[in-house]
């Protein structure tokens, strides 16, 4: 009888799924650089397992419910966000997006401090 138990123990294997192991941090946290952090902390990335910080150009990042780094807001002078890349348009000087994403200056105007102004010597619009 004992021999049969040993034979069963040797021939049986225990399979354990470790994909949900949270390394002692809890269900909404993850281990990064030796400390438990929120899975939704942009400083440690938005994924369940990764720890690479969100990096968006000219933007303040946030984590969306799907675990992606997205734009929460643009830094001063920038707008027209591309959701998971950043804010590339300088609305203080861009004549196609002057002051806001939807405002374009006339051909004879330039954008200065977010306002369309006549270009010196153009005489346009008069």
Taking the model in full, what pTM does it have? Answer: 0.68
Structure confidence at residue 49 as a pLDDT band (50, 70, 90): confident
SS3 per-residue string spanning 1-26: CHHHHHHHHHHCCCCCCCCCCCCCCC
Q: What is the pLDDT of residues 9-39, one digit of tens each?
A: 445 544 444 444 456 899 889 999 999 999 9
What is the separation of C-alpha 90 from the centre of its chain, rounded to a whole number of angstroms? 20
Task: Give the separation between CA 55 and CA 97, rounded to whole angstroms.
Answer: 24
Residue of 77, 102, 104 lying closest to 89 (CA atoms): 77
The 8 Å CB, 24+ separation contacts for 93-99 are: none
Question: Which is more confidently placed, 90 or 4?
Answer: 90
């Amino acid at each position: 009888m004992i021999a049969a138990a040993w034979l069963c123990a040797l021939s049986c294997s225990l399979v354990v799924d470790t994909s949900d192991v949270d390394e002692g941090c809890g269900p909404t946290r993850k281990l990064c650089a030796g400390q438990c952090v929120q899975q939704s902390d942009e400083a440690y990335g938005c994924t369940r397992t990764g720890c690479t910080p969100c990096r968006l150009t000219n933007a303040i990042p946030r984590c969306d419910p799907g675990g992606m780094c997205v734009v929460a807001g643009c830094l001063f002078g920038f707008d027209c966000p591309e959701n998971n890349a950043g804010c590339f348009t300088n609305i203080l000087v861009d004549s196609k997006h002057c002051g806001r994403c939807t405002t374009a200056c006339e051909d004879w105007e330039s954008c200065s401090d977010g306002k369309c102004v006549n270009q010196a010597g153009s005489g346009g619009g008069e």
